[in-house]
Structure 1
Amino acid sequence: MPSKRLPDVLVLGAGPAGMAIASALGKEKLEVEVLSPNGPDEPWPNTYGIWGKEVDQLGLQDLLEYRWKNTVSFFGHGSLEEHHYENKATEHSLDYGLFDKKKLHRYWLNECNKSLIKWHEGFAEKITFQKHKSTVITSNGKTYSARLVVDATGYDPVFLKLKSCGPLAVQTCYGIVGSFSKPPLKKGQFVLMDYRNDHLNEEQKKEPPTFLYAMDMGNGKYFLEETSLGLVNPLTMEDLKERLEKRLSYRNISITSMQHEELGLFLPMNMPIPDFKQQVLGYGGAASMVHPASGYLIGNVLRRAPLVAKAISTAMNDKKLSTYHIARKGWESLWPKELIRKKSIYQFGLEKLMRFDEKLLREFFGSFFKLPKTQWYGFLTDTLSLREIVYAMCIMFIRAPWSVKKGLMIMHGKELRMLLRIVLPNI
């Protein structure tokens, strides 16, 4: 009796990253299987925002649930007077969208099913390697083998080994979806960042700053989220909730009904790049693909999947190539030297932002969003080349106020290594 044919790839995880890479591998005519704890039909818990230009280029604009043209930020103090409140807006003049996560999930599930991808349920617990085969053992003793395993299990990966980088910086948030006694923002408006802090007392103003991320969802429903940038010692959910309540109270706004409470998102911002000398390939958050400075991930995950899948498919055409060498080809595609250098710039930026106080942070973002739209958008979405990023940052530095220049120039230790990695990406 002939032995069962070994699948080409086993993907761990059925979230957006797992389904995106599985689908892309399937389109390369590879035999793909997916192992996840809850199976492919389990709803995704998180929401995913994306800039309109990004989603248009991906051709997925029909999967958006909301799209805003009036996108703004606030970096001044503001006041209760409506005209002063509006005059403080920094207009971004760029659409922003929110995916309908059910549609997005269904789209990728359908794409995977077109390639006849097989689904398995279970918790991956152990992995063993042979020269041309990797075998995953689940918590209930079942085994699944393939030429290559791709770990797409998120920010706490099951098998991937990460390089040491010290404590992780975590972005936290507390949000609500509901109705209010009066509109908390202008009709049809999306607020990327509202850093005004008049509602805080003097002691709170000395604490790490937070901003409001907010959107009008129509029919009197709004989403408001108090957010803290990446911090090694993040603010608690209680702190963020109190700040959001104070922000509303300051403007004489009360919550009339709450439809959903976002109890907190803990997003690691400075995850190190994985060790490339391992026989498992990573993808998505597990492979440190989150943007260290902006926290964006979904656009990058969707854009990069076909490129990585192509590299894996090409490597697998050589039947003599070992699992280790196939994984190395995948890593080289996922993290070429230019992207490692770009990540060092982003990590440098995050390290600086974590050290800025509220006033300096507002001045920094005020300068950043005065850059041409193509430059700040490209920086946030990781779509600029290394040369374009360096040029944009030089322009910003020249135009920034002295306080921002000084804040960027003072080195505290880790920043020097990040800058050195731009020249020597393999250190």
Structure 2
Amino acid sequence: MPADVLVVGAGPAALAIAAALLEQGLTVEALAAADPEAPWANTYGIWGPEVDAQGLEALLGHRWSDTRSDFGAALTPGAVEPGVVAHGIDYGLFDKTRLQQHWLEQCRAGGLRWHRGLAAAIRHGALQSTVTTQEGLELSARLVVDASGHQPVFVQRPDDGPVAGQAAYGVVGTFSAPPVQPGQFVLMDYRCDHLTPEERLEPPTFLYAMDLGGGVFFVEETSLALAPPVPYDTLKQRLQRRLAHRGVQVLDVQHEEFCLFPMNLPLPDLGQQVVGFGGAASMVHPASGYMVGSLLRRAPDLAAAIAAGLRTPGLESASVARLAWAALWPLELRRKHALYRFGLEKLMRFPEAQLRAFFANFFAMPTAQWYGFLTNTLPLQQLIAAMLRLFVTAPWGVRWGLIEPRGRELALLGRLLWP
């Protein structure tokens, strides 16, 4: 008998949806290109209230209450010092091994069966789909969930123009002096006094940094989003210059992180028989780049929709997939996705000074608004209200950047009405 669901992938999205499907009592198999126990390379951050709402705070490796950003600007509302904004919300970094094992243990307890191989082809029948690997293995299931990442194996999405990537180069290690204050987390340090006037005309980058304790810090130079993305060599050189400008040298590198992921992917074809999840389903937040919180919130709802479809007598696999896609991307979320992509398209063209002014104004909004914006937890009407408030309170230079008609913004905004 074929499994109820075959999950393709072994990263956070694949494990999250596999565990949720097993919780529904479905039979689940998974296909992994590599060892599903292999350590994950990247780090995963999340706001404290997000992880608390899931009851998973024990999976955090670090948590900070002193969370702030520095925009190197004049005093802003709520600033604790010139240019510095205290966020007032905890931020956490997952212990990625603990997070991975949390999901793997749920999968083992639910009886998940792993297969190793590279997915190569798929054929669909009325009541099941069959995946063939490069090694010739055939795996059948009533539904296939592709959670293989931003460049999915099977999920199809339209070509919607240039894809903007958020790139980052980071270092975990020890330093000659603290790169940030002890016990502190810095979401964005947009100060650019280490750059020449000519370099400030180039795409802006910012520092994302945190104290990991025991004299160890994580510092990462990050670009918001750009098509094509900022090269790693540029990010590394900027990070070194930023640190040197403040009299800080790297003494020992324990880990280097190279991060690149798409920020403005269009939604997939919601009528296809393969269901996506995670990066394969364009679930990266187009404005903030976060996804793990969304995985935690949305996996149970998607799994419940899949289980309900599979338990409906005589319902064909294509119809189950349509129900699943509708649960993952309901109309309101599709409209919010369009709004976020519209906003990112604007910000990608902002020069350094305009971008700093925008974010200083953004974090001057009420906490519930900017937090809900970054976590994608505001209802649509409240999201629109937050964006209107941001526009009304912004400096004139920022306002003009937000209304200046250029490129494909109008087409993206049109998807608010016709997503």
The correspondence for 2:174, drawn from 171, 179, 183, is 179
Q: Does 1:403 align with 2:392?
A: no
Moved more, 175-184 or 206-215: 175-184
Q: Does 1:293 align with 2:277?
A: no
The correspondence for 2:342, drawn from 326, 337, 348, is 348
Supply the distance in 2 between the matched residues of 1:87 and 1:71 (Cα, whole angstroms).
16
TM-score, length of structure 2 as denominator length: 0.97
Supply the distance in 2 between the matched residues of 1:222 and 1:404 (Cα, whole angstroms).
34
Q: Quote the offset at 1:413 in angstroms.
A: 3.1
Q: Quote the offset at 1:115 in angstroms.
A: 1.2
Supply the distance in 2 between the matched residues of 1:104 and 1:28 (Cα, whole angstroms).
21
CA contact (8 A) 1:296 1:381 kept: yes
CA contact (8 A) 1:75 1:365 kept: yes
Q: Does 1:9 align with 2:26?
A: no
CA contact (8 A) 1:284 1:297 kept: yes
Q: Which residue is 1:81 aligned to?
A: none
Figure out how many residues of one structure are paired with residues of the other and give that number.
415
Is the partner of 1:215 in helix, strand or coil?
strand
CA contact (8 A) 2:73 2:356 kept: no
Q: Which residue is 1:256 aligned to?
A: 251
- 5 Å-filtered alignment, 1:12-411, equals 12-76=8-72, 87-262=82-257, 264-411=258-405
CA contact (8 A) 2:80 2:86 kept: no
Structure 2 letter corresponding to 1:139 = Q
Q: Quote the offset at 1:180 in angstroms.
A: 1.1
Is the partner of 1:296 in helix, strand or coil?
coil
Q: Quote the offset at 1:85 in angstroms.
A: 10
Is the partner of 1:39 in helix, strand or coil?
coil
Q: Quote the offset at 1:199 in angstroms.
A: 0.2
Q: Quote the offset at 1:140 in angstroms.
A: 0.6
Is the partner of 1:279 in helix, strand or coil?
coil
Is the partner of 1:10 in helix, strand or coil?
strand
Identity %: 53
Supply the distance in 2 between the matched residues of 1:77 and 1:99 (Cα, whole angstroms).
31
Q: Quote the offset at 1:39 in angstroms.
A: 3.4
CA contact (8 A) 2:123 2:129 kept: yes
Supply the distance in 1 between the matched residues of 2:410 and 2:375 (Cα, whole angstroms).
24
TM-score, length of structure 1 as denominator length: 0.95
Query: In the TM superposition, what whole-angstrom CA distance separates every residue of 1:1-56 from its partner, at most 9, and x where no partner exists?
Result: xxxx2211000011111111111111111111111112332222211100000000
Q: Quote the offset at 1:424 in angstroms.
A: 1.4
Q: Which runs of 5+ in 2 are unaligned?
A: none
Structure 1 letter corresponding to 2:375 = T
Is the partner of 1:266 in helix, strand or coil?
strand
Q: Which runs of 5+ in 1 are unaligned?
A: 79-83
Structure 2 letter corresponding to 1:52 = G
Supply the distance in 2 between the matched residues of 1:251 and 1:46 (Cα, whole angstroms).
27
CA contact (8 A) 1:368 1:396 kept: yes
Is the partner of 1:270 in helix, strand or coil?
coil
Structure 2 letter corresponding to 1:61 = E
CA contact (8 A) 1:274 1:288 kept: yes
Q: Quote the offset at 1:87 in angstroms.
A: 3.8
Q: Quote the offset at 1:249 in angstroms.
A: 1.2
- Indicate the RMSD between aligned Cα atoms, in angstroms: 1.3
Q: Quote the offset at 1:86 in angstroms.
A: 5.1
Supply the distance in 1 between the matched residues of 2:331 and 2:235 (Cα, whole angstroms).
38
Structure 2 letter corresponding to 1:35 = L
Structure 2 letter corresponding to 1:231 = L
Is the partner of 1:271 in helix, strand or coil?
coil
Structure 1 letter corresponding to 2:382 = E
CA contact (8 A) 1:367 1:399 kept: yes
Is the partner of 2:40 in helix, strand or coil?
coil
Supply the distance in 2 between the matched residues of 1:221 and 1:190 (Cα, whole angstroms).
13
Give the ranges of 4+ consecutive aligned residues of structure 1 lying more than 4 Å apart after TM superposition: none
Structure 1 letter corresponding to 2:340 = Y
Supply the distance in 2 between the matched residues of 1:302 and 1:46 (Cα, whole angstroms).
18
Supply the distance in 2 between the matched residues of 1:413 and 1:212 (Cα, whole angstroms).
29
